[in-house]
Amino acid sequence: MKILVTGGSGFLGTHIKAFFDADDMSRRSGLDILNLNDVRRVGEYDVVIHLAAEMSKAAESAGQVFLTNIEGTVNILQSAMRCNVERVLQTSTSEVYGSARTVPISEAHPLQGQSPYSASKIGADKIAESFHLSFGLPVVTVRPFNTFGPRQSARAVIPTIITQAFNGSEIRLGNLEPTRDLNFVADTVEGFIKAAETPKAIGETINLGSGREISIRDLAALILKLMNRDLPIALEGARVRPENSEVDRLCADSRKGQSILGWTPKYSLEDGLTATIEWIRENSERYRTGIYVI
């Protein structure tokens, strides 16, 4: 089975590619999901795992976010349909749910665009759904909750906490009260593998999450405990998101993934954090402390 991963040079993409030994559109010179000539190459593959996305939440990046995440997804879907690709995995995000109205969050939860990024991903997910319903394109929408692990960028909260704990005198974060459902990358990759292989998954949207939520404050305290560090945890105003854009609570209902895919997480939060701490310890040159990445 020939597999194409768009955005395979990103955090999750590198882990999926390592498992599948798949090709990666983003690493091949000049290839771009916004370039129709390039996207025609989709026809060379059996399965497309569509990860490529613009993740910035900054207002000045909104245009590029919508261009990449919506038009880029349309290009992939159209090419996959023309070429009779066997399956497309559309990568969603738990942020499409916004702040939880009910917990745990099932796939039936209302979608709320609390940032341009989440709004663009809602649009991309619905476009993928429409290609399945209107044209019979075999699409699976995979909706991972808060994946973390080795090679994650400093944009994410867990590398931010770990690198500050190694190098700083305090942990500086934004809002400390929101909760997240955190999942080690090896578990998320297994979910993608099962979604690529399971016939009953076609046409479905499937959460990948642990069902365990933890506040950012408690997460920082847990990481410090695992690192045997005693540092104060401080709020830094520049890191606080606008009030209405902050997703206050995320906690997954993954019973559908368990039923259709036979997927359940194998790593505890503590085990995943321990592995991530050790990887960052050994690769500290990849990170710069004191810089806030939006």
Angle (deg, nearest 10), helices 269-282 and 185-197: 110
- Evaluate the CA torsion angle 214, 220, 221, 225 in order and state its sign: positive
Q: Angle at Cα 24 formed by Cα 19 and Cα 30, nearest 5°?
A: 165
Q: What does the alpha-carbon distance between residue 267 and residue 223 come to, in Å, rounded to a whole number?
A: 16
Domain annotation for the chain: domains and CATH numbers: 3-148+184-212+248-267 (3.40.50.720)
Q: Put residue 259 in one of left, alpha, beta given phi > 0 → left and psi -120 to 50 → alpha.
A: alpha
Q: What does the alpha-carbon distance between residue 91 and residue 49 come to, in Å, rounded to a whole number?
A: 8
Beta strand 179-180 with 214-215: parallel, antiparallel or unpaired?
Answer: antiparallel
Q: CB-based contacts of 156: which residues, under 8 Å, 6+ apart?
A: 11, 148
Backbone angles phi, psi at 93, to 5 degrees: -155, 150
Please give the pLDDT value at position 291: 56
Beta strand 87-91 with 139-144: parallel, antiparallel or unpaired?
Answer: parallel
Structure tokens at 239: 């890191």
**Residue 141: which of 200, 202, 182, 97 has the closest Cα?**
202
Length of the chain: 294
Angle (deg, nearest 10), helices 72-82 and 116-135: 20
Task: Per-residue pLDDT tens, the chain, 294 aa: give them.
Answer: 899 999 998 999 999 999 987 777 765 544 589 998 889 889 999 999 999 999 887 788 899 999 999 999 999 999 999 999 999 999 999 999 999 999 999 999 999 999 999 999 999 999 999 999 999 999 999 999 999 999 999 889 999 999 999 988 999 998 999 999 999 999 999 999 999 999 999 999 999 999 999 999 999 999 999 999 999 999 877 676 776 778 999 999 999 999 999 999 999 999 999 999 999 999 988 887 655 554
| DSSP-assigned letters across all residues of 153-184 | -TTSHHHHHHHHHHH-SSEEES-S--EE--EE
Please give the pLDDT value at position 142: 98
Give the CA distances from residue 6 to residues 25, 48, 76, 90, in Å, rounded to whole numbers and listed in that order: 5, 8, 9, 10
CA distance from start to end of the chain = 37
Contact predicate 206/252, CB 8 Å? no
**Residue 189: which of 219, 155, 148, 157 has the closest Cα?**
148
Secondary structure (3-state) at 221: helix
Q: CB-based contacts of 172: which residues, under 8 Å, 6+ apart?
A: 164, 234, 235, 236, 239
